Amino acid sequence: MPELPEVEVTRLSFKDQIKGALITQVVMGKPLRWPLSCDPQALLGQRVKAVRRRSKYLLIDLDRGLLMLHLGMSGSLRFAKNLGPLGAHDHFELQTDLGALRLHDPRRFGAVVYASSESDPVAQKLLAHLGVEPLEEGFDAPFFSKALRAHTMAIKPLLLSGKVVVGVGNIYASEALFMAGIRPTLSAKKISKPRAERLRLAIREVLSRAVQLGGSSLKDFSNAEGQSGYFQLQTMVYDRQTKPCKQCQTPIKMIRQAQRSTFYCPVCQKR
């Protein structure tokens, strides 16, 4: 599943090219996870003002309203002057005078939803419950420490839940916990302020580095220009079960938490 770094990498790869584009046609394929929530013809003649991100949603600001795009489990976007005919798994295309933005999604868990504004109930349903952005100022030490003390849940599933901070997906949670030296099974409530600060900084560093490396291409992720990411080639613990820890040589362990695989070093992450 594309996580925050992959979504941000996708945004960066086409935001400048599509800015100011005039929408000339909207092509709909098979139904996606949620309906568009407007007549596709209502988008014609509007211009793209900007492309933002909120958690794993791409927000395309228009003259009137915005489009909220989610890549789901297997989605990816392409933006180019000529993308050729739509394939069997291409389910949405926004054609403009500057190029076409196409959503490719074999599993169809992605979505493109229109809302008149971010205060629209359609947008609020998707965005209002989201936690803070990990790479923005609101994700500071006092907030994070206080938020952790309010939860008895194990720290790894809590990070994945998005209740405290958004976008820390499975790969990045495992890597950040390793960097901070925290066992993924430890109750969030038991993490001291100094350790919470180490984890906060680790989350920022891991996500920032992932964006710089183009995200993680575990299966078929690529940005809007078709380029793959390389973060997965530098992981310290993720998907390295039984392999020696790069710091202490102890074999990396894998456990299941909340139906997700968790990877950690039993020595470097004693508690």
- 1-30 tens-digit pLDDT: 678 888 999 999 999 999 999 999 999 999
190 is catalytic: no
- 25-61 tens-digit pLDDT: 999 999 999 999 999 999 999 999 999 999 999 999 9
Tally Cβ neighbours within 10 Å of residue 95. Answer: 18
- 135-190 tens-digit pLDDT: 999 999 999 999 999 999 999 999 999 999 998 989 999 999 999 999 999 999 99
Distance between CA 78 and CA 104 in Å, rounded? 8
**Annotated catalytic residue, options 2, 5, 134, 157:** 2
What residues make up the domain containing 106?
4-127
**Annotated catalytic residue, options 11, 15, 53, 56:** 56
Contact 50, 122 (CB under 8 A): no
Residues 120 and 174 both lie in one domain? no
Residues 110 and 225 both lie in one domain? no
pTM above 0.85, yes or no: yes
3 is catalytic: yes
Residues 168 and 240 both lie in one domain? yes
Residues 150 and 103 both lie in one domain? no
Q: Could you tell me if residue 205 is inside a domain?
A: yes
Report which of 218, 260, 263 is spatially closest to residue 243, judged by C-alpha positions.
263
Identify the pLDDT of residue 228: 52
**Annotated catalytic residue, options 19, 33, 149, 260:** 260
Q: In what order do the strands lie in the sheet with 99-104?
A: 23-28, 90-96, 99-104, 76-80
Q: Return the CATH number at 44.
A: 3.20.190.10
Distance between CA 59 and CA 211 in Å, rounded? 18
Contact 104, 90 (CB under 8 A): yes
pLDDT band at 126 (very low <50, low <70, confident <90, very high): very high
Q: Could you tell me if residue 132 is inside a domain?
A: no
